[in-house]
């Protein structure tokens, strides 16, 4: 065994100096988020989005016995706009300097009748590559987002460092556990914060969205008393025979609380038999089948996958914060998000075209579960979008405009706008 000290792989980042970064060309980069900028939409005769949403039934309370709920699912189309802000935001942490790169997003969703169903805005941040040691030739570390910042004579004097710290000292280097964060404001009364990472696939293969009836992607959770292994047909999209029976005729094998009108099958056969607003089986049970179906017959060149979550097994957590009524009666406890940024060879569009697919699963909690605990209700959204500018004019759908109130301020005699970059002075 060697007595020599082991060399640490966590080497200092490049030292920060005044003037770095300053803006778009030499500032902190956006990593994979640079591929988002622009407007993404559904198109005529293309795939549509779909949501599944369970809600408390009229007259119920959070103490109501499990199973009394209202279910709604709809096809939808969307206008998802990303705006890259070329002004890196400095986070100062002593020995570490981090420059977040921000991409704002705003989305508007309407149903097949052009009625507004959802709107939301927020921000994605590129936090820096979490690979250590950093590499000069890394596409996600050059230019860098992370710098080291040792003390110097000026900082020690100005900040009253002596006798605690002297010039030339540098503490441990921070390696971000996540590359990306997303924050969002949902008008129902929930604020989200998700973190995660991204991975590349350059093998020319389609993304693997999910296995058929994979539990974690279903619109029915284990707390609902439905088991995919026994209540669905493995490997088959055929609707199970038990879904043809009325609620009172349900009598599956099982223990107490899993027979007749008190069985999971009795409560949830309506999800299997739902057929409204363009939504029906099997998508009401596993929405991401729409994503896989949209990719059938396409020739993929490559894709990037972004995976974010408000919950992690260890370490720093994200958050879902609710307004009082939402927290009391339909609490949002977790949000999972996957986004695929794909390059597809498409002769109709004249070569390579970009496609964006996403799936987000929001866990609601209300009413008792089949085991006596609180029921977890997955609210799921999936959609397949392409860049608006790439869609031929004859296949574009009308743009979506929110019914916002017009601003009353006068622009007369107003000085022209300025577009400055962040002023990241060394000592301020």
Q: Chain-centre distance of CA 187, in angstroms?
A: 17
Is residue 153 helix, strand or coil?
Answer: helix
Q: Are 105 and 116 in contact (CB under 8 A)?
A: no
Is residue 94 helix, strand or coil?
Answer: coil
Residue 296 lies in a domain: yes
pTM for this one? 0.91
- For position 419, what pLDDT does the model report? 67
What pLDDT band is residue 154 in, cutting at 50, 70 and 90?
very high
State the total domains in the chain: 1
- For position 371, what pLDDT does the model report? 63
What pLDDT band is residue 334 in, cutting at 50, 70 and 90?
very high
- For position 411, what pLDDT does the model report? 66
What pLDDT band is residue 257 in, cutting at 50, 70 and 90?
very low
CA–CA separation, 358 vs 32, rounded Å?
15
- For position 267, what pLDDT does the model report? 81
Euclidean distance between the first and the last CA atom of the chain, given in angstroms as a whole number = 49
174-223, pLDDT tens digit by residue? 989 999 999 999 999 999 999 999 999 999 999 999 999 999 999 988 88
- For position 364, what pLDDT does the model report? 94
* Sign of the CA dihedral running 64, 65, 68, 71: positive
Residue 406 lies in a domain: no
Parallel, antiparallel, or unpaired for β 190-201 and 275-276? unpaired
CA–CA separation, 212 vs 217, rounded Å?
9
What pLDDT band is residue 252 in, cutting at 50, 70 and 90?
low
Residue 7 lies in a domain: no
Q: What does the buried/exposed string (b/e) look like for 341-359 if buried means 16 or more CB atoms within 10 Å of the residue's CB?
A: bbbbeeeeeeeebbbbbbb
Mean pLDDT of 246-273: 73
Residue 16 lies in a domain: no
Percentage of the chain lying above the pLDDT 70 cut: 89
CB atoms within 10 A of CB 256: 6
- For position 226, what pLDDT does the model report? 84
Residue 15 has what DSSP assignment? B
Query: Lowest mean pLDDT: which of 24-38, 80-94, 180-194, 196-210?
Result: 24-38
Phi/psi at 91 (nearest 5 deg)? -110, 120
Mean pLDDT of 376-392: 96
Q: Are 172 and 95 in contact (CB under 8 A)?
A: yes
Of residues 337 and 140, which shows the higher confidence score? 337
Q: Where are the alpha helices (DSSP H) in 82-208?
A: 153-158
Of residues 251 and 308, which shows the higher confidence score? 308
Residue 379 lies in a domain: yes
Query: Lowest mean pLDDT: which of 130-134, 236-240, 241-245, 323-327?
Result: 130-134
Per-residue pLDDT at 384 exceeds 50? yes
Per-residue pLDDT at 173 exceeds 80? yes
What pLDDT band is residue 126 in, cutting at 50, 70 and 90?
very high
Per-residue pLDDT at 255 exceeds 60? no
Per-residue pLDDT at 262 exceeds 80? no
Of residues 146 and 371, which shows the higher confidence score? 146
Per-residue pLDDT at 352 exceeds 60? yes
- For position 427, what pLDDT does the model report? 54
Phi/psi at 424 (nearest 5 deg)? -95, 70
CA–CA separation, 364 vs 382, rounded Å?
17
- For position 25, what pLDDT does the model report? 46
Query: Lowest mean pLDDT: which of 249-258, 349-358, 384-393?
Result: 249-258
What pLDDT band is residue 137 in, cutting at 50, 70 and 90?
confident
Q: What is the mean pLDDT of the chain?
A: 88
Residue 219 lies in a domain: yes
Per-residue pLDDT at 74 exceeds 60? yes
59: left (phi over 0), alpha (psi -120 to 50) or beta: left
Show the domain range for 337: 31-392
Phi/psi at 213 (nearest 5 deg)? 60, 30
Of residues 68 and 412, which shows the higher confidence score? 68
Mean pLDDT of 312-340: 95
**CATH number, residue 71:** 2.40.128.20
Query: Lowest mean pLDDT: which of 33-37, 281-285, 368-372?
Result: 368-372
- For position 425, what pLDDT does the model report? 64
Per-residue pLDDT at 50 exceeds 60? yes
- For position 399, what pLDDT does the model report? 96
- For position 207, what pLDDT does the model report? 97
228-238, pLDDT tens digit by residue? 999 999 999 99
Q: Are 234 and 213 in contact (CB under 8 A)?
A: yes
CA–CA separation, 108 vs 400, rounded Å?
7
Residue 427 lies in a domain: no
- For position 26, what pLDDT does the model report? 47
Residue 401 lies in a domain: no
| Size of the chain, expressed as the number of residues it contains | 428
DSSP string covering 206-275, please?
A: ------TT-GGGSSS-GGGT--HHHHS-TT--SPPGGGGS-GGG---S-STTSSGGGSHHHHHHHHHH-E
DSSP string covering 26-43, please?
A: TS---GGGGGT-EEEE--
- For position 129, what pLDDT does the model report? 83
């Amino acid at each position: 065994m060697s007595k020599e000290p082991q060399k640490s792989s966590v080497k200092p980042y490049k030292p920060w100096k005044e003037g770095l970064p300053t803006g778009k060309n030499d500032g902190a980069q956006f990593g994979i988020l640079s591929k988002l900028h622009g407007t993404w939409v559904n198109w005529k005769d293309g795939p549509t989005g779909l949501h599944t949403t369970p809600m408390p039934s009229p007259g119920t309370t959070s103490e109501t016995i499990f199973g009394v709920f209202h279910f709604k699912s709809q096809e939808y189309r969307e206008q998802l706009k990303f705006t890259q802000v070329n002004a890196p935001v400095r986070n100062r942490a002593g020995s570490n300097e981090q420059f977040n790169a921000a991409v704002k997003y705003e989305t508007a969703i309407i149903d097949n009748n052009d009625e507004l169903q959802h709107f939301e805005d927020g921000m994605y941040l590129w936090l820096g590559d979490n690979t250590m040691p950093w590499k000069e030739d890394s596409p996600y570390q050059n230019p860098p987002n992370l710098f080291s910042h040792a003390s110097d004579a000026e900082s020690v004097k100005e900040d009253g460092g002596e006798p605690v710290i002297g010039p030339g000292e540098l503490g441990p280097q921070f390696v971000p556990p996540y590359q990306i964060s997303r924050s969002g404001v949902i008008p129902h009364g929930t604020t989200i914060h998700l973190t995660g990472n991204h991975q590349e696939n350059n093998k020319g293969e389609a993304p693997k969205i999910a296995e058929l009836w994979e539990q974690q992607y279903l619109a029915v959770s284990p707390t609902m008393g439905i088991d995919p292994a026994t209540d669905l047909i493995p490997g088959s999209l055929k609707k199970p025979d038990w879904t043809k029976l009325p609620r009172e005729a349900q009598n599956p094998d099982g223990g107490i609380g899993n027979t007749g009108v008190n069985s999971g099958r009795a409560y949830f056969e309506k999800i299997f038999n739902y057929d409204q607003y363009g939504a029906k089986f099997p998508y009401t049970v596993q929405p991401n089948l729409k994503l896989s179906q949209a990719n059938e017959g396409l020739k993929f060149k490559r894709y990037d996958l972004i995976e974010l979550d408000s919950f992690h097994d260890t370490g720093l957590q994200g958050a879902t914060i609710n307004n009082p009524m939402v927290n009391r009666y339909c609490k949002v406890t977790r949000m999972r998000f996957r986004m695929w940024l794909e390059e597809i060879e498409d002769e109709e569009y004249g070569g390579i075209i970009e496609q964006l697919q996403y799936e987000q699963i929001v866990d609601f909690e209300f009413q008792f579960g089949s085991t006596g605990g609180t029921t977890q209700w997955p609210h799921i959204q999936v959609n397949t979008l392409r860049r608006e500018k790439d869609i031929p004019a004859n296949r574009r759908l009308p743009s979506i405009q929110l019914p916002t109130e017009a601003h009353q301020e006068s622009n007369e005699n107003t000085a022209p706008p300025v577009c400055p970059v962040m002023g990241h002075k060394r000592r301020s």
